Structure 1
Amino acid sequence: MDSQEEQAQRRRAMRALLAKPLLTVVADEDALRPVRRHAAYLRDWFAAETGWRLLVDAESARLFKVSATTEDATHPARDGKGRAPFGRRRYVLLCLALAVLERADAQVTLGRLAEGVLVAAGDPEFAAAGVEFTLSRRDERADLVAVVRVLLAWGALERVAGEEDSYLGDTGDVLYDVRRRVLAALLTTGRGPSTVTEPGFEQRLAVLSAESVPDTEDLRRRTLRHQLTRRLLDDPVLYYDDLTDDERAYLINQRTAITRRIEQATGLVAEMRAEGIAMVDPDDDLTDVRMPEQRTDGHVTLLIAEYLSGRVGEPVLLDTLRAQVRALARQHTSYWRRGVTEPGADTELLEIALTTLRALRLVADSAPDAVRALPAISRYSVREAVIRDGSEPRTRRTTRKGRLR
């Protein structure tokens, strides 16, 4: 294998792990193959540049990613593209389901899993925290099905017989194989959650995600490199204003070296600006949030981004944006889906748009009733481009190319 082909395979393997940190032979056989072949290189690169651990075995490859921050809530779990994001009840159900599966036999039915979850949820501490499950209602069963479908996507369960819809309709059951090696690799914390005794959620989360404090100058610099590389790989945009003084000074001094290593390993392209750095993905497959998208929601999001691109740094009231959505709906009513001009549709369309823009670090909430456009949204400004092709100059409206992740 020549060096170019080897580099291309390593890059594919790296991108596969970044897109999906848990690859299984059942769900991701093609992606897992180059990861196995180049496991030593990948393990060394992630350890040196991010401090993340990579475990590769016969059934799976697990990149134990540690987030640089615990404050980003813009990428919730979902049981499929376009599905509702997980809320508190689904996350609690997910944890309970994992606890039940840890003690389950090699095979389990959805009904037996539900029974185990109900027993676990009967602990008085859940009721004291305002969390109750009966699974007697369809919406509660739908929440459990959403959890199971996430576990199927992760490869922790493998469907043997039946369909989840039959359980929802109370007409049948589903049988699964429990993949214990995958289950064992799901937890990425440095310590067991059951050992954490701090009283508040934020305190518990901080303890679970805490890492050792460096005690030498070399270790301190390595920790800074790890933190910054993690954010450049994970975040759509890294703004200098979001960094500590030490992080900002280190990144400004080392940004060329750090971004070059990322570019060589992943194929991402660094876009450096005065406000920060974005690692742009020319292939557009390292993101769970895409922009622009097609259809009504995607068009609304793009037009709101264009509207906000001329108001960077300014607080913009949600009422102002809802009025803008109503005006856009009247303008595009023949192209958008039905009902966009009905009362309340503007609120729904705006929330869909802002959810995407928040996830891409293009806007941030500045008050309960306002948002603030962040600098990277300027990529979506529309301007007149002059085209010279030997004839009279012509103009067309254009935006910047290349997608943020």
Structure 2
Amino acid sequence: MNRDAAERQRAFTALLRSPVLDRFSNPAVWPLVRIHRAVLGEWFAHRLGYRLVVTDSAARLFRLPLEGRVLAPRRFRPPARRVLVLAVLGAAAAEDAEDITTTQDLSDRVRALAAHEDVTLAPYDPDRFAERMLFAKAVQLLVSVGALRPTGRDDEEQREGWAHRRDAIGGAYEVRRELLLRMVDPVSLRAALTEGHDGGPPHESSARFGLMRRLLELPVVLYEDLTDAERVYLTSQRHRVLAWCAEMTGWPVEQRAEGMALIAAEEQDTDLPFPRLRAADFAALMVLDELIRGHGAGSVVTADDLGRAAAEVRARHAKAMTNELRTDDAVESIARDTLVALDLMRPTGTPDRWRLSAAAARYRDPRVVAVNARLDEEGMG
């Protein structure tokens, strides 16, 4: 592989992982995005129906809806709704702030904004510690999307210090107006609001976009999930699809009778790597193995089945259970949330019933190796 091809792959996968990149926060990848923006833009537009906007200092990837929905998986343990609301209010307040603002300044502005008679939201009360903690998380969310850029220290300790009123002003931030305004892109907003009723892309393009999005965004693509148009497109264009995946990412496509999956090369290339060397993943993997051995991939399991599998794992691997996993239903809860997020257990539409997806069989009979160090939430202790 030549240097340009490797750089394009690195930039492409970086944008999938972080749809907002700028020269300050991503100094290693940013030059690659700038250099290869024409090719990257063509890939995203022609192959996925996405929109890439690159300016002098930042790049923003917009995942435009297709037939009223976005295929990117829901973030595992996403921010609370209140944090998102406060982040939106914070973004609106930042538009009128000075070029350099602070947590306290934004908090004061959001308090006034939320109290406005035209804003039908629960009032923001920064006199309550819980609200201050949520606002600190909202500010951090704005930092993560590039709308605010820290001008100095910006860490968890500082945010908690402001929430506890040990820090009068909190963090100091440069207002990145260019990215702030791109949080709501007119083209993306129009596509979301029309919900696919504006005609949408041509039939073949819609099938191509849908299939490619599934491959790049979802843990696995099962043929049963494809629309008729996507299935026809894959049958006639399989070689092209596989070549595109290799060209854009460098990752192999694993093909099975039930479906296919694009296998990321490194843990950092996926939003939810599994299994990692941590107790929670170990527990989820063992629970999945219990379910597969007892019921088989493709079977429907109930909450009782899940509870019995979790109890068996806790009893059999008692020494591997960390404090977090020793609480009443922790193993069951963590396993359920993780396996559903990975599309290994699929909700059936009936409460407390899931179907083990075909991909679950890939994790059967895991080899358990004892180690001297204790597994904990962050990795090896």
Q: Given the superposition, is the C-alpha separation of residues 189 and 238 from structure 1 closer, same or farther in structure 2, using an over 3 Å criterion?
A: farther
Is the CA contact (8 Å cut-off) linking 2:148 and 2:176 kept in structure 1?
Answer: yes
Matched, 1:178 2:160: no
The Cα shift of 1:89 comes to 1.2
Range moving further from structure 2, 153-162 or 290-299 = 153-162
Q: What's 1:401 paired with? A: none
The one of 89, 113, 116 aligned to 1:96:
89
2:320 corresponds to 1:335: yes
Which amino acid in 2 is paired with 1:96?
A: L
Distance 1:378 1:145, change over 3 A: same
Q: TM-score, normalised by structure 2?
A: 0.85
Matching of residue 220 in structure 1 with residue 203 in structure 2: yes
Q: How does 1:5-404 map to 2 (within 5 A)?
A: 5-68=3-66, 70=69, 75-76=74-75, 85-123=78-116, 131-161=122-152, 163-172=158-167, 173=169, 174-188=171-185, 190=187, 192=189, 207=193, 210=196, 212-213=198-199, 219-310=202-293, 311-338=296-323, 340-342=325-327, 344=328, 347-366=329-348, 367-382=350-365
**Residues 91 and 147 of structure 2 are in contact (CA less than 8 Å); yes or no, is this contact kept in structure 1?**
no
User: Percent identity, aligned pairs only?
Assistant: 29
Maintained 8 Å contact 2:64/2:70: no
- Deviation at residue 275 of structure 1 after TM alignment: 2.3
Q: Secondary structure at the match of 1:45?
A: helix
Shifted more, 173-182 versus 132-141: the winner is 132-141
1:313 and 1:71 mapped to 2: Cα distance? 26
Deviation at 1:189, TM superposition (A): 5.9
Q: Which whole-Å CA distance do the structure 2 matches of 1:120 and 1:39 have between them? A: 38
Alpha-carbon contact 1:330-1:341 (below 8 Å) kept? no
> Structure 1 residues 98 and 152 mapped into 2: Cα distance closer, same or farther (>3 Å)?
same
Deviation at 1:340, TM superposition (A): 3.7
Query: After TM superposition, what 4+ stretches of structure 1 lie above 3 angstroms from structure 2?
Result: 67-74, 123-127, 208-212, 339-342
In the alignment, residue 187 of structure 2 is paired with which amino acid?
A: G
For 2:248 and 2:326, how far apart are their aligned partners in 1? 47
Secondary structure of the corresponding residue to residue 54 of structure 1: strand
Task: Kindly indicate whether the alpha-carbon contact (under 8 Å) linking 2:71 and 2:217 is maintained by their aligned counterparts in 1.
Answer: no
TM-score by length of 1: 0.80
Task: Decide whether aligned partners of structure 1 residues 124 and 191 sit closer, same or farther in structure 2, where only a CA change above 3 A counts.
Answer: farther
Q: 1:397 to 1:329 in 2, by over 3 A?
A: closer
Q: CA deviation at 1:210?
A: 3.5
Distance 1:27 1:334 in 2: 41
Question: Is the contact made by 2:22 and 2:30 (CA closer than 8 Å) also made in structure 1?
Answer: yes
User: Structure 1: 5+ residue runs without aligned partners?
Assistant: 78-83, 194-204, 384-395, 399-405
Are residues 353 and 66 of structure 1, via their aligned partners in 2, closer, same or farther at CA, if it must alter by over 3 Å? farther
CA distance in 2, matches of 1:340, 1:135: 34
Residue 191 of structure 1: how far off its partner (Å)? 5.6
**Runs of 5+ unmatched residues, structure 2:** 370-381
**Number of equivalenced pairs:** 359
Question: What code does the residue aligned with 1:145 have?
Answer: A
